[in-house]
Structure 1
Amino acid sequence: MSQRQLPFTPDLPHRSSVFESVATFVLLAALLYLGAGILVPLVLATLLAFALAPLVTWFNRRLHLPDPVAVIVSVALALAALSGFAYLAGTQIIKLAAELPGYQETISTKIAGLQQQFGNNTLLEQINGAIAGLSDQMASTETRPGAPIPVTISNEIGPLGILSSVLGSIIGPVATVAIVAVFLIFLLMGRGDLQERFIRLVSGGRYSKANIAIADASKRVGRYLLIQLAVNTVYGTIFGIGLWLIGVPSAILWGLLIVLFRYIPFVGALIIAVVPFLLAFAVDPGWDMLILSVGLFLLLDLTTANVIEPRLYGSSTGVSAIAILLSAMFWATLWGPVGLILATPMTVCLVVIGRHLPQFQFLETLLGSEPVLSPSERLYQRMLRGATEDAIEMTEDHIEAHNTQHYLDGVMMPALRLASNELADGPDALPQRRRLVESFEALIREIATVEWPEHSSVLLIGGRTEIDECAATLLGIRLANEGIESRVLPPVAVRQEAIGRLDLEGVEVVVLVFMGDDIRTHTRYVSRRIRRMAPEARVAVCALNDLSAQESNETLHVDTIYRSVDDAVDGALTGLRRHASDDLQASGRAEPFAGAGRGDDALGQAIEQIADSFEIPFATINLLQDDRHVEDDAAFHLTSIVTETRQPLVVHSKTAHPLVGENAYLQTNGIDLYAAVPLVLADGTCVGALALLDYEPRAFSEEDVTRLEAAAQDLVQRFGNVSAG
Structure 2
Amino acid sequence: MTGVIIICALYFGRAVMIPIILAILLSFLLAPFVEFLRRLRFGQVPSVIVAVVIALSVLTAVGALIGAQVAQLAGDLPKYQVAVERKIDSVQRLTVGRADEFLGRASRALKRISPAREQEPKNEDNPAASPIDQPMPVEVHEPSPSPLELAQRFLSPVISPLETTGIVLVVAVFILLQREDLRDRLIRLFGSRDLHRATTAMDEAARRLSRYFLAQLGINMGVGIVISVGLAIIGVPGALLFGVMTALLRFVPYVGTWIAAIIAVVFAAAVGPGWSMLVWTLVLFGVTDVLVGQVIEPLLYGHSTGLSPFAVIVAAIFWSWIWGPVGLVLSTPLTLCLVILGRHVDRLEFLDVLFGDRPALTPAENFYQRLLANDPDEALVQAETLLKERALIAYYDEVALEGLRFAHNDVLRGVVTANQLRRINESALDIIEGLEETADTIVDVKDREELPASFDSPDDFPVPSETPPSRFDASQEGHTASVLCIAGRGELDDLAATIAVQLFRKHGLHADLAGYDRFSRGRFGEVDLSGVSIICVVSFDAAESPPYLRNLLRRLHQRAPSAELIVGLVVPESALQGETLVRTSSAAVSFRELVEACVAAARRQSTDGVPWAGLHEFEGEAALNGPPGETREGVPELRNA
Corresponding position: 1:246 with 2:272: no
Which residue of structure 2 lines up, in the alignment, with residue 472 of structure 1? Answer: 497
65-74 vs 371-380, which moves further: 371-380
Q: Name the amino acid aligned to 1:492.
A: D
Corresponding position: 1:365 with 2:390: no
Q: Name the amino acid aligned to 1:421.
A: N
Which residue of structure 1 lines up, in the alignment, with residue 548 of structure 2? Answer: 522
Q: 1:48 aligns with which of 26, 46, 52?
A: 26
Cα separation, partners in 2 of 1:113 and 1:459, compared to 1, 3 Å: same
Corresponding position: 1:233 with 2:228: no
Cα separation, partners in 2 of 1:508 and 1:153, compared to 1, 3 Å: closer
Q: 1:196 aligns with which of 170, 179, 184?
A: 184
Which residue of structure 2 lines up, in the alignment, with residue 489 of structure 1? Answer: 514
Q: 1:78 aligns with which of 44, 47, 55?
A: 55
201-210 vs 300-309, which moves further: 201-210
- The whole-number CA distance in structure 2 between the counterparts of 1:522 and 1:66 is 74
Corresponding position: 1:165 with 2:156: no
Corresponding position: 1:37 with 2:63: no
Give 3-state SS (helix, strand or coil) of 1:322's partner. helix
Cα separation, partners in 2 of 1:272 and 1:325, compared to 1, 3 Å: same
Q: 1:544 aligns with which of 547, 555, 570?
A: 570
Corresponding position: 1:461 with 2:486: yes
Q: 2:39 aligns with which of 61, 65, 76?
A: 61
Give yes or no for contact 1:440–1:470 (8 Å, CA) kept in 2: yes
Which residue of structure 2 lines up, in the alignment, with residue 121 of structure 1? Answer: 98
Which residue of structure 2 lines up, in the alignment, with residue 392 of structure 1? Answer: 380
Which residue of structure 2 lines up, in the alignment, with residue 108 of structure 1? Answer: 85
- The whole-number CA distance in structure 1 between the counterparts of 2:212 and 2:413 is 51
TM-score by length of 1: 0.66
Q: Write out per-residue CA displacement over residues 433-476 of structure 1, whole angstroms, 9 at most, x where no aligned residue.
A: 332333333333333469xxxx9864221112342122223333
Q: 1:312 aligns with which of 269, 292, 300?
A: 300
Q: Name the amino acid aligned to 1:79.
A: L
What's the offset of the Cα at 1:221? 0.9
Q: Name the amino acid aligned to 2:517.
A: V
- The whole-number CA distance in structure 2 between the counterparts of 1:157 and 1:444 is 85
- The whole-number CA distance in structure 2 between the counterparts of 1:115 and 1:171 is 41
- The whole-number CA distance in structure 2 between the counterparts of 1:213 and 1:123 is 64
What's the offset of the Cα at 1:297? 1.7
Which residue of structure 2 lines up, in the alignment, with residue 511 of structure 1? Answer: 536
Which residue of structure 2 lines up, in the alignment, with residue 640 of structure 1? Answer: none
What's the offset of the Cα at 1:104? 3.9
- The whole-number CA distance in structure 1 between the counterparts of 2:100 and 2:490 is 72
Which residue of structure 2 lines up, in the alignment, with residue 641 of structure 1? Answer: none
Give yes or no for contact 1:460–1:513 (8 Å, CA) kept in 2: yes
- The whole-number CA distance in structure 1 between the counterparts of 2:77 and 2:429 is 72
Which residue of structure 2 lines up, in the alignment, with residue 297 of structure 1? Answer: 285
291-300 vs 70-79, which moves further: 291-300
Which residue of structure 2 lines up, in the alignment, with residue 600 of structure 1? Answer: none
Which residue of structure 1 lines up, in the alignment, with residue 429 of structure 2? Answer: 441
Q: Name the amino acid aligned to 2:356.
A: G
What's the offset of the Cα at 1:520? 1.9
Q: 1:90 aligns with which of 42, 47, 67?
A: 67
Which residue of structure 1 lines up, in the alignment, with residue 366 of structure 2? Answer: 378
Give yes or no for contact 2:570–2:576 (8 Å, CA) kept in 1: no
Give 3-state SS (helix, strand or coil) of 1:41's partner. helix
Structure-to-structure mapping, 1:505-654, within 5 angstroms: 505-516=530-541, 517-527=543-553, 530=556, 541-545=567-571, 549-551=574-576, 554=579, 559=584, 562-565=587-590, 566-569=592-595, 571-572=597-598
Q: Write out per-residue CA displacement over residues 503-539 of structure 1, whole angstroms, 9 at most, x where no aligned residue.
A: 5342244433221355422224434655676566566
Give yes or no for contact 1:387–1:439 (8 Å, CA) kept in 2: yes
What's the offset of the Cα at 1:559? 4.0
- The whole-number CA distance in structure 2 between the counterparts of 1:520 and 1:113 is 87
Q: 2:417 aligns with which of 410, 429, 439?
A: 429
**Cα RMSD (Å) of the superposition?**
3.4
What's the offset of the Cα at 1:558? 5.2
Which residue of structure 1 lines up, in the alignment, with residue 127 of structure 2? Answer: none
- The whole-number CA distance in structure 1 between the counterparts of 2:314 and 2:493 is 44
- The whole-number CA distance in structure 2 between the counterparts of 1:232 and 1:78 is 16
Cα separation, partners in 2 of 1:375 and 1:123, compared to 1, 3 Å: farther
Q: Name the amino acid aligned to 2:168.
A: V
What's the offset of the Cα at 1:79? 1.0
Cα separation, partners in 2 of 1:265 and 1:360, compared to 1, 3 Å: same
Q: Name the amino acid aligned to 1:97.
A: A
What's the offset of the Cα at 1:411? 2.6
Cα separation, partners in 2 of 1:507 and 1:424, compared to 1, 3 Å: same
199-208 vs 182-191, which moves further: 199-208
Q: 1:266 aligns with which of 248, 251, 254?
A: 254
- The whole-number CA distance in structure 2 between the counterparts of 1:262 and 1:426 is 54
What's the offset of the Cα at 1:152? 8.8
Which residue of structure 2 lines up, in the alignment, with residue 288 of structure 1? Answer: 276
- The whole-number CA distance in structure 2 between the counterparts of 1:281 and 1:427 is 65
- The whole-number CA distance in structure 1 between the counterparts of 2:283 and 2:216 is 23
Q: Write out per-residue CA displacement over residues 329-348 of structure 1, whole angstroms, 9 at most, x where no aligned residue.
A: 11111111111111111122
Which has the higher Rg, Structure 1 or Structure 2? Answer: 1
TM-score by length of 2: 0.74
Cα separation, partners in 2 of 1:500 and 1:248, compared to 1, 3 Å: same
What's the offset of the Cα at 1:573? 5.5
Q: Name the amino acid aligned to 1:514.
A: S
**Higher RCO (CA-CA < 8 Å; seq separation 6+):** 2
What's the offset of the Cα at 1:41? 0.9
Q: Name the amino acid aligned to 1:32.
A: L
Cα separation, partners in 2 of 1:464 and 1:544, compared to 1, 3 Å: same
What's the offset of the Cα at 1:195? 1.3
Give yes or no for contact 2:487–2:537 (8 Å, CA) kept in 1: yes
Cα separation, partners in 2 of 1:377 and 1:179, compared to 1, 3 Å: same
Q: 2:170 aligns with which of 166, 179, 182?
A: 182
Cα separation, partners in 2 of 1:96 and 1:460, compared to 1, 3 Å: same
Cα separation, partners in 2 of 1:268 and 1:463, compared to 1, 3 Å: same
Corresponding position: 1:407 with 2:392: no
Q: Which runs of 5+ in 2 are unaligned?
A: 104-138, 439-479, 611-641
Q: Name the amino acid aligned to 2:484.
A: L
- The whole-number CA distance in structure 1 between the counterparts of 2:342 and 2:300 is 24
What's the offset of the Cα at 1:43? 0.8
Which residue of structure 1 lines up, in the alignment, with residue 336 of structure 2? Answer: 348
- The whole-number CA distance in structure 2 between the counterparts of 1:180 and 1:110 is 44
268-277 vs 241-250, which moves further: 268-277
What's the offset of the Cα at 1:153? 5.7
Cα separation, partners in 2 of 1:194 and 1:154, compared to 1, 3 Å: same
- The whole-number CA distance in structure 1 between the counterparts of 2:143 and 2:437 is 97
Which residue of structure 1 lines up, in the alignment, with residue 107 of structure 2? Answer: none
- The whole-number CA distance in structure 2 between the counterparts of 1:533 and 1:422 is 35
What's the offset of the Cα at 1:185? 0.5
Number of aligned residue pairs: give it: 533
- The whole-number CA distance in structure 1 between the counterparts of 2:421 and 2:338 is 39
Which residue of structure 2 lines up, in the alignment, with residue 651 of structure 1? Answer: none
Give 3-state SS (helix, strand or coil) of 1:512's partner. strand
Q: Write out per-residue CA displacement over residues 159-182 of structure 1, whole angstroms, 9 at most, x where no aligned residue.
A: 333333334333322221111111
499-508 vs 33-42, which moves further: 499-508
Q: Write out per-residue CA displacement over residues 258-278 of structure 1, whole angstroms, 9 at most, x where no aligned residue.
A: 221222222222223323322
Give 3-state SS (helix, strand or coil) of 1:371's partner. coil
Give yes or no for contact 2:483–2:512 (8 Å, CA) kept in 1: yes
Give yes or no for contact 2:249–2:257 (8 Å, CA) kept in 1: yes
316-325 vs 31-40, which moves further: 316-325
Give 3-state SS (helix, strand or coil) of 2:486's partner. strand
